[in-house]
Structure 1
Amino acid sequence: MTENKFDIIVYGATSFVGQIITRYMHEQFADGSIRWAIAGRSLNKLQQVSDTIGLSGVELIVADAADESALRQMCARTNVVISTVGPYALYGDVLVRVCATTGTDYCDLTGEPQWIRKMQLRHEADAIKSGARIVHCCGFDSIPSDLGVHFLQRSALEQFGQTCDRINMRVVNMKGGASGGTIASMINMVKEAVGDADLRRELKDPYSLCPAGHGFSVPQPDVKITYDNVYGGWIAPFVMAGINTRVVHRSNALSGNSYGTEFTYEEAVATGQGANGKWKARATTWGVNALMIGLAVPPIRWLLETAVLPKPGEGPSEEAQLKGGFDLIFRGSTAKGETIGCRVTGDRDPGYGSTAKMLAQAATCLAKDVPDDVAGGFWTPATILGDKLVERLKAHAGLTFEKLT
């Protein structure tokens, strides 16, 4: 790693999540153990964030997402860039290109699979050549899923001497609404897919983020409203499964198929037992389907954007963030029928409080824990950060990773 002035620059520090990250960084690294700065397109807004939080000695850097020259100057001054500037499909291309060509490590909180694939196709060769380590999906989508599977597979290896060839995850509790940025990204993805048949086919491919020649062909589970005998209750599709499952499969491919070539993975929301659980499963599914249909119809989409859905920059109060959280259960089985489970929890709302801490710790792990000789390219959290990030999240981000007996 070159000796640049900063270990980390938080780009997009004036966004809602960016401000939470900035405050968290200020609290975590008051001892000077991380050299960091904040960046964005407006000096006045950066100064407001600095004054509000009470930053001292943290430099403010101005760079617009479309200004390649300014982004190059910014990247020349840091080892790692955190980007919160989304929707990434609209505003993220130039920064990824600059990082990939300059050898600057990068992480973000995108959940946009169509954009990630474009970045891989366009810039992975440059990242490999320059040594830049690009790590997407370092928020709630998809660190708990990716590292939850990683943690469970490590536990299976220790206990059984082999990994699980089937894992499912159930969201047993989640409190906290979707962020305005997540909604904006979802809206943009639907807009793209409506007019692009190739993209619609890509979005149905569970292996779309795997590298070329991955060789995976086993059909993946299609989660429906059903009664899950293992969990003892009804389940419904999980809205974030579309990105999380793809990241997990990429981790399998990048780790030399360490989960197996016949590996299957599914995610669902556990809605409870009896008639009430079944009704909740139906309501969850209908709600998601209605939202996606509504976003595909321009007049309804306009109404939802204008009057219903949260907008980028909007988010819950600090009190609401503190009251949020999530609880995920993973269960796996080996080819021999041996079973194992683990639980992953977070102590803040998924879309803001926990995501901010996960992204900040992912960047810190990338800056401090990843050896210089780890190759450039497009990695996943599990494959480049792995156990080191699990330990950081447990120690500093309010997450737990617990093996179930």
Structure 2
Amino acid sequence: MTDRQYDVVLFGASGFTGELVAEYLAANVSNIRWAIAGRSTSKLEAVRERIGQPDLPILVADSDDAAALTAMADQARVVISTVGPYARYGTTLLEVCAREGTHYCDLTGEAQWMAEVYERVDPIAKNSGARLVHCCGFDSLPSDLSVYFLQQAFKAQFGEYAQSITGRMGRYSGAVSGGTVASMMLVSEQIMKDEALRKRLMNPYALYPEAMEPGLDQPDQMGVAWDGNFESWTGPFIMAAINTKVVRRSNALAGLPYGSDFRYEESQLCKSRLSALTSSIAIGAVMGGALFRPTRALLKRFLPDPGEGPNAEARENGFFEFWAHGVSGADNQNNLRVKVTGKRDPGYGATSRMLAQAGLCLAQDDLSVGGGIWTPATAFPEQLITRLAQVDVNFEVVD
């Protein structure tokens, strides 16, 4: 792809998160040829003025215009997409990039969409050499990469991989993403209409390759539980619904290095049993309310819309902690823990930078995988972990 005009094309740059990615690239990256893209010329012109890049090239394409998306993809080595919900707006672009041999990454956390496109689009990408990588934001980079990072350290220290890993969301400060809300609402609408889709999303191995036998993991935690390793009460973590499936797919795509019986689960660390119970009830109420049209409409009145988000001060002052604890051995005698820390609001300030670095990985780094649909931990784990340190997201082994 050395004859492509641009190293990176940012699709959806006039959206809230898209503009944050553009802002980051404009202020921090000088060694790439890049352009912004979307369906509105006037909005894209306004973005490039706000980020101080008045001469930045603009490409116009709508998410359902295959011809325009093909023309855009043919000019790019990598397309970074922030246009969601991806189940509604992302399929045509994914297919185009797979067909045209254009690398691609996005922010989706929509398991139902990924499960639908994997088996169909993956062979096309393998044939063209396009590397397509979903979930390159807060869901699911901390989870997927922390498991990879822990397993490499575990193998070096104990001579074997951990048999099971627990992911735990720790302290954080940040706002709910309007894009995440829109995706959740769309999933809720879809599963009420499609019983097969509902069953698929309840399957812990929904993102496993179809030809592989599932492992032993059960559905994600929905109630309150005590974690003896962390000596803490835990409640459900809303992002676990996608993160756990991505981690399991990573193990499968890598050839099951952690074993076919590898176990992984996630939850939220809570200060007390009461706070865990309160969190469980709140998450259950939101998820349950999203299933029915009247309560879904009511929720939308109080939750952010796509394109809405926290102001710059809130984004900059946010932070997050994520933990992964691995064990192995007949009596779990081998233990190791990894901590992931990130500055800035996880859903916006940190996510926009993580996505930008994933795109730069695809554009600039020497990767060992060929074409296909990959997870972050199978596409570029070492390279991206190194790059994320540049945006204040760090991985470390802790006692």
Same fold? TM cut 0.5? yes
| TM-score normalised by L of structure 1 | 0.96
Shift of 1:397: 1.3
Q: Identical aligned pairs, as a percentage?
A: 45
Give me the CA root mean square deviation. Answer: 1.2
- Counterpart position of 1:335: 329
Which digits, 9 at most, give the CA deviation of each residue in 1:119-158, with x for residues without a partner? Answer: 1132111111111111000000000100010100010111
Aligned-partner SS, 2:361: helix
Whether the 8 Å CA contact 1:370–1:384 is kept in 2: the answer is no
Shift of 1:219: 3.2
- Counterpart position of 1:392: 387
Whether the 8 Å CA contact 2:11–2:79 is kept in 1: the answer is yes
Residue segments in structure 2 that go unaligned for 5+ positions in a row: none
Aligned-partner SS, 1:54: coil
Aligned-partner SS, 1:173: strand
- Counterpart position of 1:310: 304
- 1:285 is the counterpart of 2:292: no
Residue segments in structure 1 that go unaligned for 5+ positions in a row: none
**Matches for 1:175-254 after TM superposition, within 5 Å:** 175-220=173-218, 222-223=220-221, 224-254=223-253
Shift of 1:228: 1.6
Which digits, 9 at most, give the CA deviation of each residue in 1:294-339, with x for residues without a partner? Answer: 111111111221x211000000000000111110111101235311
- 1:138 is the counterpart of 2:136: yes
- Counterpart position of 1:356: 352
**Matches for 1:26-37 after TM superposition, within 5 Å:** 26-29=26-29, 31=30, 33-37=31-35
Aligned-partner SS, 1:296: coil
Do the aligned partners of residues 296 and 222 (structure 1) sit closer, same or farther apart at CA in structure 2, a change above 3 Å counting? closer
Q: Distance in 2 between matches of 1:121 and 1:246?
A: 16
Shift of 1:215: 2.1
Deviates more, 1:215-224 or 1:359-368: 215-224
Q: Distance in 2 between matches of 1:291 and 1:196?
A: 20
Shift of 1:222: 4.5
Deviates more, 1:224-233 or 1:4-13: 224-233
- 1:2 is the counterpart of 2:6: no
Whether the 8 Å CA contact 2:220–2:240 is kept in 1: the answer is no
- 1:90 is the counterpart of 2:84: no
Q: Distance in 1 between matches of 2:215 and 2:248?
A: 11
Amino acid across the alignment from 2:297: W
- Counterpart position of 2:75: 77
Amino acid across the alignment from 2:34: W
Amino acid across the alignment from 2:232: G
Which digits, 9 at most, give the CA deviation of each residue in 1:1-43, with x for residues without a partner? Answer: 43311111000000000010000000111x3x11111001000
Whether the 8 Å CA contact 1:346–1:400 is kept in 2: the answer is yes
Whether the 8 Å CA contact 1:221–1:265 is kept in 2: the answer is no
Shift of 1:160: 1.0
- Counterpart position of 1:299: 294
- Counterpart position of 1:256: 255
Shift of 1:71: 0.4
Q: Distance in 2 between matches of 1:100 and 1:45?
A: 28
Q: Distance in 2 between matches of 1:164 and 1:215?
A: 20
Whether the 8 Å CA contact 1:247–1:380 is kept in 2: the answer is yes
Which digits, 9 at most, give the CA deviation of each residue in 1:24-77, with x for residues without a partner? Answer: 000111x3x111110010000000001111114421111111111110000010
Whether the 8 Å CA contact 1:332–1:340 is kept in 2: the answer is yes
Q: Distance in 2 between matches of 1:5 and 1:145?
A: 34
- Counterpart position of 1:320: 314
- Counterpart position of 2:376: 381
Out of 158, 167, 179, the residue aligned to residue 160 of structure 1 is 158
Number of residue pairs aligned between Structure 1 and Structure 2: 396
